[in-house]
Amino acid sequence: LRMLISLSVLVLVQSLPRIVGQGLQNVMDMAQDSFDDQYQGCRTEMEEKLKTVNRTEFQNKNYADTWRRAAEYWQNQWGNSNNPQVLQQEQAVAVLAYTDREYLYSQFNTLVREGGRSHEHYLESFHFKTLHFLLTEAVHTLQKTQNTECYNVYRGIEDIRFTAQLQQTVRFGQFTSTSRQKKVAEYFGQDTFFIVYTCYGVSIKSFSFYPREDEVLIPPYEVFEVTNFTRDRDGNFIHLRSHGVRSNYNCALLKGKGAAVLPALLQPWLQRNGGPMPPAL
């Protein structure tokens, strides 16, 4: 019995993230549990399907309040403009709501990282279906309108030290906020500091509550190659280079319970606009 208890404790300890100093250490990988739908070929059907889902999701008071603040901000900024808008109103409000850090950002990204563990889990337990769809559509729209093909960006994290293996392919597995300004990223933390060359991230500076942060939003489905990894007493430094996109889901909401959801390799390992691989950082 004592041996069984010891073995159980050992297995439990090995399954937990390692504690390093005052923070945690996590290994970057392909984030296979992420809900990474790109909604290729089903935009109209998704918009119709989400009309009923949206009413249910807004029963979450914090979500509804955040959305209301974002909608009011959009109305004040662009509501009376006669000029054509880059994003549809719903897409712009979704991006604004995402940048409101009072509530939505953290919970939403936690659920995105876990939402793809199974099709049933997404259907029954992922309660940000509308926000995920609108953010994804906003990213697609901004990719088409922004002239910059790729961005050099930075991301700083506090209390978590990520590790990565050289030349491995990884994903963030969530909508990831980065900045074009190194000092802005350093302000958010330096326990792990990412230096990223993204070709699918988009600038959302014009649709943010914090435009001075010069934010670039990376979608959960972008794949990166680890080009360098170093560490010292102050923190870990991870260099990533865009390596295409990969999604395990496509139009998942339109597939009923029990349906087989096969990995959707959408533009696998290709660069945006068919461009060459960017140089190593």
Residues serving a catalytic function are 155, 177, 215
Q: Cα–Cα distance between 185 and 210 in angstroms, integer?
A: 13
Close Cβ partners of 259 (under 8 Å, ≥ 6 residues apart): 119
Contact 86, 142 (CB under 8 A): yes
Q: Cα–Cα distance between 219 and 229 in angstroms, integer?
A: 22
Any long-range contacts for 54-58 (C-beta under 8 Å, 24+ apart)?
Answer: 54/130, 56/127, 57/127, 57/128, 57/129, 57/130, 57/131
C-alpha distance from residue 37 to each of 77, 120, 214, 234 (Å): 30, 14, 26, 36
Q: Which two structure tokens, joined as six digits, stand for 185?
A: 């990223």
Q: Cα–Cα distance between 228 and 265 in angstroms, integer?
A: 26
C-alpha distance from residue 125 to each of 64, 163, 269 (Å): 18, 29, 30
Alpha helices by DSSP H, listed for 42-128, are 43-57, 61-78, 89-99, 104-114, 119-125
Q: Which two structure tokens, joined as six digits, stand for 215?
A: 């934010």
